[in-house]
Amino acid sequence: MLNAYRIELRRSPLLTAFPLMIAVDLVVLFGRSRYWIGVWPEASVAAQVVTLFLGPVLAGVSAWQAGRSSRAGMPETVLAAARPIWRIEAARLAATLTLGFLAYVIGCLTAAFISFGEAGPGFLWPSYLLLGASILIIFASVGHLAGRWWPSAAFTPVVCALGCFISMLALPFKFNVLAGPPDQHLRLLPVAVRLLFALALAALAVTAPPLRRSAERQMPRQGTPLHIRGVAIGSAAGSLIALAAVPAAGELRVERPASATAPLCERAEKGVPQVCVWPEHRKYLPELTGMAQRLGQPVQPWLKSPDAFHEFGLRRNKWGDRGFDIAEGHVRTAAIAMADRVFTESLGLCIPPRQESRAWQAMDNIRLWLEYRSAGQDPAVADEGLHMEGVSAAQREATKVIRMPAAEQQKWLAQERGHILRDPSWCKPDDRF
Amino acid sequence: MTGSDLLRYARVHRGVAVLVATAAVALLSAFFGGTHIALPSIGSGGVTTGVPFRHELPLLSAVFLTAALDGAMSAHDEMGASAMHRFRLKYCTGLTLTACAFSFATEALAVGPEAGVVFVRSLLIWFGLALLSVRLLGHQLGWIIPLASAFFLIWYPHNRWDWTSNSATDLFSWAVAVIALSVGVGATAATPWRRKAFLRT
C-alpha cells in the first residue's frame, strides 16, 4: 500500500504542475491586496482563499488521474489485481491530496512568515485553515469520483474543475469565507459539518463501485466485498446527510464576543482620547492614536471628543455598535466613524427638518472637516482613490477650509454651528450609547 | 465527399458527444446562467455584485470542441492523405459553427442578442486557447490554458482585457478573439511534418 502510494506520488502529474500551483499560491496571496499582512485572521482567510483556486486544479488533475487506468486500456489489469480496488484508488487519491495539501501548506507558511513581523503574538486561526482543507478535499474527491465513473480526458477534468468552482460559489450556503475581520469568527459546528462532508465524499470516492461499461460486462469479475459495499453506502449516506446538515448548521461566521480577548488600548498623550482595538489589529494602532490625538486637540470649547474610541465589535449594545471600522485595510472608514462620534458628542443627535438644506449641508461640512482634521494630511492625499458620492459640495467646502489658517477655520466652524443650532430643538443629546 | 461520409466521420470523432455537450452548456447558460456568483476577488460583499456565471461557461464549450480532434484513431488520422485533412478541417469548422450558432440562438432567446454575441466571442477566444493548448500539451490536455486564462479573468475582473464582461461591440475584445483564434488555428496547422519542412528550408 505504502509502496503503491509512493509510486503514485512519483508519477503524479501534480508533480509537474507543482511550480504552477506555487505560482497560483503567490498570485492569490499577493496579487490583489496586501492588507491581510500583519492581521492573523485576515492572513488565515487569505491562505484559505487560495484553496478556491487550488481546488479546481486538484479536481481536474484528480479526475484525470482516476480515469487514467481506464483510458490506458488497463481495466482488466486493475480488475485482476491481487489488491482490492479501493486500495488502488486510495493510494491514487492520497497522492493527489498530498501534493495539493503541500501547496496549500506552503501558501499558509508564506502567509504566516510574512505576517510575523507586524502581527505580534498569535498565529493563523486554525478554523479558517480547516475550512480551506475541507474545500480541497471536496474538490479532489468530486474530481476523483467523476473521473472513475466517466474516464474521459476531454470532458471530465474541465467539467469537474469549472463546474465545482461555479457550484461552490453559486450555492446559497458558503463553503468559504472571503474576509476575516477580527470582530467575527467561525463557529465550530458548521466547520465540523463541512469537514465531515469532505471526508465522507473522500471515502465515497475511494470505495464507490466502478460503473460497468458495455465492454466489461462480459468479463467475469469478483463482486465488491460486503464490508466495502457497506462503507460505500455508509459514506454516500453520510455525505448526503452532511450536505443537508450544512444549511441546517447555521451561519458560518458569527460575531466574536468582546469578552473573547482583552482589547488593546492606547492613547498618544495625556488628555487625548484613548483608542481601543482588537489585539489582531495592533498594526493600525499607531495610525489610529494619531488620528484620535488630532481630533482631541481643542479648537473650540464646544467641540468635545469622547474619552475613548472603540473598534467595531468591542462595545456592542442593543442599539447596535458605533465603533469605528477598518475596511479592507483603510483607516478612512475609522476616520468617518470617529468624526461622527466627535460630532454627536459636541452637538448631539441632530435631525433638522428635511427642507432645511443649509443645516444639513453644515452637518456634512463639519463632519468632513473633522475627517480631514483627523487624517492630518492634505485632503487631496486623504481622498485619493476614494469614491465618495453625494458629498461633493461638502468635500469642496471642507477642503477649502482645512487649508485656511487656524483662526479663519474657527470662524467658519462657529458659523456652520450657527446654521445647525438655529433652532436648538433640532439637536438632542444622544443618550442611547 | 458525401453527406453520409461526413456522418460516418462524425460518428468516430465524437460528433454526437461534442454536439450534445455544447448544447447542454448552452441550455444550462440559457436557463440558469443568470445566477450570480460572488467572485473571490470582489470581496466579502460580493454576493450582490457578483457576476452571472454564464460569463465562464463558454470555456466548457470551447474545450469540448477540441475533443473532436482527439479520439481512438487520432494517431491514424494524422497519417491520412491531404483529402482526409481537408475533411477533418471541414468537420471541425462545421462543428464549431454549429455550436456557435446554437449557443447564440439560445442566449439570444434567453437574454438578448447582445449576450449571445458575447457568449460566442468568449467561446471563440477560449477555442483558440484550447487549440493552442492541444498543440503544446497534447490532445487530452486542451483544458489547461483555457482554465489558466479563466483564473486571471476571475482574480482580476473588470479589466480592460476581461472579454467576458466587455460589451458586444468592444473592438479590443474582438481583436483578442481574432488573435486567439488565429493562433489556435495556426497551432493546429503546425503539424510536426509541416514544422520539420518549415525548419529545413
Q: Which domain holds residue A389?
A: 260-428
Question: In sequence order, what are the beta bridge partners of B11?
Answer: none
The answer to whether A64 contacts B46, with C-beta atoms less than 8 Å apart, is: no
Beta-sheet strands, E only, within chain B: 36-37, 51-52
Report B:137-176 residues touching A (Cβ under 8 A): 139-143, 146-147, 150-151, 155-156
What total number of domains does chain A contain? 2
CA distance A388 to chain B (A): 18
Angle at B172 between CA B170 and CA B177, to 5 degrees: 100
CA distances to A52, A232, A234, A243, A375 from A209, in Å: 29, 8, 13, 21, 65
Tell me, yes or no, whether A139 lies in a domain: yes
The answer to whether B155 contacts A56, with C-beta atoms less than 8 Å apart, is: no
Q: Are residue A143 and residue A187 in the same domain, yes or no?
A: yes
Q: Are residue A183 and residue A317 in the same domain, yes or no?
A: no
CB atoms within 10 A of CB A279: 16
The answer to whether A170 contacts B53, with C-beta atoms less than 8 Å apart, is: yes
Tell me, yes or no, whether A433 lies in a domain: no
Which chain B residue's Cα is nearest to A159?
A: B60
A383-409 average pLDDT score: 75
Looking at residue A397, its pLDDT comes to: 79
Check if A178 contacts B (Cβ < 8 Å): yes
Tell me, yes or no, whether A322 lies in a domain: yes
Looking at residue A433, its pLDDT comes to: 57
Tell me, yes or no, whether A162 lies in a domain: yes
Q: Are residue A98 and residue A86 in the same domain, yes or no?
A: yes
The answer to whether A162 contacts B41, with C-beta atoms less than 8 Å apart, is: no
The pLDDT of residue A391 is above 80:
no
The answer to whether B39 contacts A169, with C-beta atoms less than 8 Å apart, is: yes
Q: Are residue A382 and residue A241 in the same domain, yes or no?
A: no
Tell me, yes or no, whether A219 lies in a domain: no
ipTM given for this complex: 0.89
Interface test with A, best of B140, B152, B154 (most A CBs within 10 A): B140
Query: What's the CA gap between B15 and B21, in Å, rounded?
Result: 10
The answer to whether B17 contacts A155, with C-beta atoms less than 8 Å apart, is: yes
Looking at residue A158, its pLDDT comes to: 92
Q: Are residue A140 and residue A265 in the same domain, yes or no?
A: no
Q: Are residue A101 and residue A20 in the same domain, yes or no?
A: yes
The pLDDT of residue A75 is above 80:
no
Residue ranges per domain, chain B? 3-200
Most confident of A256-265, A305-314, B176-185: B176-185
Q: Which long-range contacts (CB under 8 A, 24 or more apart) does A374-378 make?
A: A374/A291, A374/A292, A374/A294, A374/A295, A374/A335, A374/A338, A374/A339, A375/A291, A375/A332, A375/A335, A376/A290, A376/A291, A376/A294, A378/A403
Q: Are residue A41 and residue A172 in the same domain, yes or no?
A: yes
Q: Are residue A203 and residue A344 in the same domain, yes or no?
A: no
C-alpha cell at B114: 447582445
Q: Are residue A395 and residue A409 in the same domain, yes or no?
A: yes
B147 contact residues in A (CB cutoff 8 A) = 56, 60, 158, 161-162
CA distance A213 to chain B (A): 17
Check if A111 contacts B (Cβ < 8 Å): no
The answer to whether A158 contacts B46, with C-beta atoms less than 8 Å apart, is: no
CA distances to A147, A288, B86, B131 from B65, in Å: 20, 57, 18, 9
Looking at residue A110, its pLDDT comes to: 93
* pLDDT (tens digit per residue) in A106-165: 999 999 999 988 888 888 899 999 999 999 999 999 999 999 888 888 889 999 999 999
Please compute, for residue A432, the number of CA atoms within 13 A of its CA located in the half-sphere on the CB side. 13
Query: What's the CA gap between A33 and A99, in Å, rounded?
Result: 26
Closest by CA to B193, choosing from B81, B50, B63, is B81
Instruction: Find the helix or strand (DSSP H, E) in which A308 lies.
Output: strand A308-310
Closest by CA to A62, choosing from A159, A192, A133, A196, is A159
Query: What's the CA gap between A205 and A222, in Å, rounded?
Result: 19
Burial-class residue B93 by CB neighbours within 10 Å (0-12, 13-18, 19+): exposed
Check if A192 contacts B (Cβ < 8 Å): no
For B37, which of A159, A169, A179 is closest by C-beta distance?
Answer: A169
SS3 A142: helix
Looking at residue B45, its pLDDT comes to: 47
Looking at residue A215, its pLDDT comes to: 55
CA distance B198 to chain A (A): 30
A162 contact residues in B (CB cutoff 8 A) = 56, 59-60, 147, 150
Whole-number average pLDDT of chain A: 84
Helices A156-170 and A40-71, axial angle in degrees (round to 10)? 150
> 487631496: which residue's cell?
A380
Query: What's the CA gap between B12 and B18, in Å, rounded?
Result: 12
Q: Are residue A293 and residue A250 in the same domain, yes or no?
A: no
The answer to whether B147 contacts A176, with C-beta atoms less than 8 Å apart, is: no
Query: What's the CA gap between A248 and B21, in Å, rounded?
Result: 35
Interface test with B, best of A178, A253, A330 (most B CBs within 10 A): A178
B146 contact residues in A (CB cutoff 8 A) = 158
* pLDDT (tens digit per residue) in B41-78: 765 544 456 788 888 899 999 999 998 888 777 778 87
Beta-sheet strands, E only, within A175-286: 184-186, 253-255, 264-266, 274-277
Check if A154 contacts B (Cβ < 8 Å): yes
CA distance A351 to chain B (A): 30
Q: Are residue A285 and residue A411 in the same domain, yes or no?
A: yes
Question: In sequence order, what are the beta bridge partners of A317?
Answer: A320
Looking at residue B48, its pLDDT comes to: 53
The structure's pTM equals 0.89
Tell me, yes or no, whether A220 lies in a domain: no
Query: What's the CA gap between A278 and A301, in Å, rounded?
Result: 32
A42, A180 in Cβ contact below 8 A? yes
Q: Are residue A45 and residue A176 in the same domain, yes or no?
A: yes
The residue out of A235, A256, A277 marking a domain boundary is A256
